Copies of this chain bind each other. A is one copy, B any other.
Amino acid sequence: MPKINLAVVMLLALRIGAWAQHDPLPSWNEGPAKKSITDFVARVTGQDGPDYVRPAERIATFDNDGTLWAEQPLYFQFFFVLDRVKALSPQHPEWKNKEPFASLIKGDIKTALGGGGPSVLEIMAVTHAGTTTDEFETVVKDWLATARHPKTRQPFTSMTYRPMLELLTYLRDNGFKTFIVSGGGVDFMRVFAEKTYGIPPEQVVGSMGKEKFEVRDGKPMIVKLPGADFVDDGPGKPVGIHKFIGRRPIASFGNSDGDLQMLQWTCSGAGPHFCLYVHHTDAEREWAYDRTSNIGKLDKGLDEATARGWTVVDMKKDWKRVFSFEPK
């Protein structure tokens, strides 16, 4: 009965077409990682199920560096800081003989950062402080428009992970409110988070410096001061979530030990919850690093994820495509 067979084939084709069309995560390979995500979303959105969560409680928090965009060979904000030092150096002739600035101007990052924390903080203080928040926004915007990554030669905002952008959209389409909770500077991230991730400034939590309101010549302004006010990393992340969001997320996404406490906090909640680590396993398309990396070290977190059954994304296996930009 050729007519019926044709009809069956056409129906099947239509079904497969509809299914392919509606896959909300097309850059994810089929497998346990992808399935764990879609299963969780189905559970918390199923109105008749025991795990239903009302939309207001569907809070999802994402680390940024290494989770939503790349972080090698240096945190991207640090490239900004380096360019800022170079741009400001003509006004600071004394930097030529003063570390860490002398090394930075020469491009010797290793020596510059050899001093550890205090050097980094000193560099941040010099490059971020003193400006008004409005001025700082302009400086970051201009930098993002022109700066390129040393390896890919792409704008930094094109080095976001396509599978993660799909995930953000998928969660929002299912009534989730998506937040960034990152160790990066909040004033830096807020400049691009809305356009790049669809995450508005008020849903970006990050590290921040001290600030002061003042009225200069009748014009109110907020001035950035030297000194850290809040460090949104490690145990600071759940504290930041409490301070800035005020309710416990039901889903959290990270890639390093600096995200571990955020995942612990999320996945010890009373209701349904979901924790996911992005594991950088793809030296060819991105970078491969974990337990011994200086940037984005994932050691304790990997053990705890395994012990607790959290989802671990194997970039190489689970992602059809890595970056937002078209690879060559």
Chain A interface (Cβ < 8 Å from any Cβ of B): 56, 59, 133, 177, 179, 186-187, 190, 194, 200-204, 208, 211-215, 219-220, 222, 229, 235-239, 242-247, 261, 264-265, 268
**Min CB gap A230→B, angstroms:** 8
B213/A239 in contact, CB under 8 A? yes
State how many angstroms separate the Cβ of A278 from the closest Cβ of chain B: 21
**Once bound together, how far apart are the Cα atoms of A267 and B222, in whole Å?**
14
The 10 closest A-B pairs by CB, nearest first: A201-B246, A213-B235, A213-B238, A202-B245, A190-B246, A220-B264, A220-B268, A201-B247, A211-B239, A222-B242
CB atoms of A246 and B56 under 8 A apart:
no
Shortest Cβ distance from residue A204 to the other chain B in the assembled complex, whole angstroms: 6
Q: How many Å lie between the Cα of A246 and that of B238 in the bound state?
A: 20
Q: Is the CB of B213 within 8 A of A246?
A: no
Give the CA-CA distance A246 to B201 in the complex, in Å: 5
Tell me, rounded to whole Å, the shortest Cβ–Cβ distance linking A252 to chain B: 12
A245 and B201 contacting across the interface, CB-CB below 8 Å = yes
Q: Is the CB of B235 within 8 A of A265?
A: no
Cβ-defined contact, A212 with B200, below 8 A: no
A220-B268, A238-B220 known; A246+B211 contact, CB < 8 A: no
Partner of A194, one of B56, B200, B214, B245: B56
